[in-house]
Amino acid sequence: MSNSPWFAIQHPLTSRRRFLLGLFSFTLPLILWCAVSYTPFIWHPMIRVESPGGVSWFRPGLLVERAVFATENAKALAANQPAATGTRANPVFLPEPHKVAQAFYTAFTTEPKLRGDVWLHESLWRSIQTIAWGFLISSAIGIPLGILCGAYALWSRISEPVIDFIRYMPAPAFGALAVAVLGINDAPKIAIIFVGTFFQQVLVVANTIRRTDPSLLEAAQTLGCRGFRLVLHVIVPSKLAELYTDTRILLGWAWTYLIVAEVVGVSSGITFFINQQAKYRNFENVYAAIIMIGLLGLATDQILAFIGKRLFPWETQRPSRLRAFIVRLFSSRQTPLTASPKSPAISPASTEARS
Amino acid sequence: MITVPRSLRRLTLGLTLAALLLSRATAAPLKVAYSDWPGWTAFAIASEKGWFKQAGLEVELLWFEYGPSIEAFTAGKVDAVMVTNGDALVTGANGAKNVMILVTDYSNGNDMIVAQPGISSLKDLKGKKVAVEVGFVDHLLLLNGLKKAGMTEADVELVPTPTNQTPQVLASGQVAAIAAWQPNSGQALKAVAGSTAVYTSADEPGLIYDTVAVSPQSLAQNRADWVKFVAVWDKIVAYLNDETTRDDGIKIMAARAGVDAKEYAAFMSGTKLLTLAQSTKIISGQTDTFGSIAGSSKIADEFNVKNGVYKESQPVATYIDATLTTDALKK
């Protein structure tokens, strides 16, 4: 195994290598960030003033560009004043990794100072709820409508042209309108996430449904299945795994609307934290909060991926112990995987019985 | 003899009860939108100390970004919003009529035109780019400064920028100056070493008054409550003016804004908080100058019309109600 090549076209890697590379993809940016932060000669375009010397407007801790520092020092020296001293530093928008890690920790451990205020984890939970509601409502309408559009030309022509038109309208543009209609609390925020997700969702789902294998349809029709039962028992089950993947991708989109959604109406959730900290240039807190959102997104996606593997084991190409386990799990229950066990829709016996 | 059927009597009784309950329901809390400006954040103190409850008031303070707070008021979702007197006119001209019942403070340096290093006066900005949130209060500050320097808006090139992004825009070096209020203006000064405030609201005290603006409907329905609300303000100012309690007050404000108390304390000197007596003088004064809210708003109105912020001159007098502060003073 060890002498199999690293570079082989369309050839799966060993699971050990996959793990190592996955780890590397996370550590590489971190290594770069550390390098830029901790080694002065790579970048460090600023100087952090330590003692102001003879420069009147320098203050200890002030960040100035190196060129400005040099000219001001030259001026001071020319006027027989002591030179200022300082150390090279990065601009304020690039804090060091350990500062961000500290901020990450303190953000969670700082208790709310005002009555009725919330801890950061409570803000995050509020954000998650906002996303969840927006996405649930969108999916509850969007997925069925998308399936109808993908299956029937009539539904497609009735709804898709206008949806195609509306989806170009940026969701944030509806902010003031959402407040006017829905008030200032959570409803307009959920609405923004809905607007950001729904229209794309219908089109994506419809597109997936439209790509149903025609031979599958023909077979089902030959066997006597028709009407809406074709949609329910043939088209949807055959595309279920892809619909699941679509939903995962769309959930990621819903997250991208969070920050615009949460400034609508009363400040809330993680956005309040980010905005306020950015306003006061506490960028280590800003980075920490952005990373929190990233971790949350990654975690949800991984959980969904795990569930997906259990639900659709035949979709997993890569051999793995997990898959073997799941296949065994399913086969031991003798559950057919593509069709619902209660109504074997494409068996001729059942169609005869009902006709 | 006709007797009233029992069912009908019951019905009347029920209706009366329902009406009673309904009238209770209309005594909903006063919804007040506020945002990050020291003169307004100070209301958090009253809420934290329970002073509204003590005054027999139910007040719901709602924390917004400045822009969204005005949107919420315009949409009729809150009873009052904290805005500058100039923005009260702009909001009114855009369809959300409001009445200023209290002047909390005037900006005494927190609003600034911050220019790149090497630019020492507004005159040096001739032909250069200035980033400002067009139509908002610091646009007015800029126009006022230019006028004093013998220039007009045509002498500079305006770059429309949301106020909270002005520090980054100045730091990018793409504009010669920005117009912003704290904390953004202070952050811009920090972001660009050597930059200076070439003109501030301290150069024209009274150009920017910060007010509590109430919807005419809420004012008509709950006038007595608003008088109580105004009276609480005096308690807040006293708390902040008293050396022994000042730090505690600032601590609460900083907590509301989500920053360090030391950081927030720096903005206090640029905000001249007004006691109820001082506020009453300014809100009831009838000068043509910046010394009264009537005068200041009249000047702001002329600026706004002349610069196309809105088209028709606003009836300034209808935006001001001085009777609430006078009533609160009598108590």
Q: Are residues A50 and A182 in the same domain?
A: no
Backbone angles phi, psi at A88, to 5 degrees: -70, 140
Instruction: Give the pLDDT confidence score for residue B110 in this predicted structure.
Output: 93
pLDDT exceeds 60 at position B118: yes
DSSP B156: S
Q: Are residues A50 and A139 in the same domain?
A: no
Contacts with B, A 71-130, CB within 8 Å: 72, 92, 112-115, 117
pLDDT digits (tens, 9 = 90+) for B84-117: 999 999 999 988 999 999 999 999 999 999 999 9
Final residue of a structural domain among A31, A56, A89 = A89
In a domain, A31, yes or no: no
pTM above 0.80, yes or no: no
The total domain count for chain A is: 2
What domains are defined for chain B? 30-107+206-329 (3.40.190.10), 111-203 (3.40.190.10)
Contact at CB, B258 and A115, closer than 8 angstroms: no
pLDDT digits (tens, 9 = 90+) for A111-148: 887 767 788 888 999 999 999 999 999 999 999 999 99
Residues in A closer than 8 angstroms to B193, CB to CB, are 62-65, 68
Instruction: Give the pLDDT confidence score for residue A332 in this predicted structure.
Output: 57
Q: Which residue of A has its CA nearest to B33?
A: A266
pLDDT exceeds 50 at position B80: yes
Q: Which residue of B has its CA nearest to A116?
A: B48
Q: Are residues A178 and A292 in the same domain?
A: yes
Binding-site residues on chain B for chain A (CB distance < 8 A): 33, 36, 44, 47-48, 62-65, 68, 71-72, 74-78, 117, 164, 167, 183-184, 187, 190-191, 193-194, 251-252, 255-259, 263
pLDDT exceeds 80 at position B246: yes
CATH of the domain at A300: 1.10.3720.10
Q: Are residues A140 and A226 in the same domain?
A: yes
Contact at CB, A263 and B65, closer than 8 angstroms: yes
In a domain, A342, yes or no: no
Instruction: Give the pLDDT confidence score for residue A353 in this predicted structure.
Output: 41
Instruction: Give the pLDDT confidence score for residue A355 in this predicted structure.
Output: 37
Q: Are residues A71 and A129 in the same domain?
A: no
In a domain, A153, yes or no: yes
A56 touches chain B (CB under 8 A): no
Distance from CA of B62 to the nearest CA of A (A): 6
Q: Are residues A257 and A187 in the same domain?
A: yes
In a domain, A238, yes or no: yes
Please give the Cα distance from B254 to A2 (Å, whole number). Answer: 59
In a domain, A277, yes or no: yes
| Helix, strand or coil, per DSSP, at residue A46 | strand
* A222 or B10, greater pLDDT: A222
Q: Are residues A126 and A73 in the same domain?
A: no
Strand order in the sheet with B80-84: B59-63, B30-34, B80-84, B209-214, B99-107, B271-273
Mean pLDDT by 10 residues, chain A (355 residues): 76 87 92 92 89 83 84 88 89 90 90 78 92 96 96 94 93 88 92 94 95 91 89 91 92 89 87 84 89 91 88 70 63 51 44 41
Q: Which domain holds residue A70?
A: 46-89
Of A36-50, B28-42, B69-83, give the lowest mean pLDDT range. Answer: A36-50
In a domain, A289, yes or no: yes
Instruction: Give the pLDDT confidence score for residue B38 in this predicted structure.
Output: 92
Q: Are residues A72 and A161 in the same domain?
A: no
A118: Cβ–Cβ under 8 A, 6 or more apart, which residues? Answer: A112, A126
Residues in B closer than 8 angstroms to A64, CB to CB, are 193-194
Strand B177-181, strand B129-132: pairing: parallel
In a domain, A331, yes or no: no
In a domain, A273, yes or no: yes
Instruction: Give the pLDDT confidence score for residue B308 in this predicted structure.
Output: 79
Q: Are residues A233 and A134 in the same domain?
A: yes
Contact at CB, A180 and B36, closer than 8 angstroms: no
Q: Are residues A156 and A290 in the same domain?
A: yes
pLDDT digits (tens, 9 = 90+) for B259-301: 889 888 988 989 999 999 999 999 999 998 899 999 999 999 9
Would you say how long chain B is, in residues?
331
Q: Are residues A167 and A287 in the same domain?
A: yes
Which residue in the set B75, B191, B255 is minimally distant from A113, CB to CB?
A: B255
Contact at CB, B164 and A278, closer than 8 angstroms: yes
pLDDT band at B216 (very low <50, low <70, confident <90, very high): very high
pLDDT digits (tens, 9 = 90+) for A329-342: 666 555 444 444 44
Contact at CB, B255 and A63, closer than 8 angstroms: no
Q: Are residues A184 and A215 in the same domain?
A: yes
CA dihedral B285, B287, B289, B293 (to 10 degrees): 30
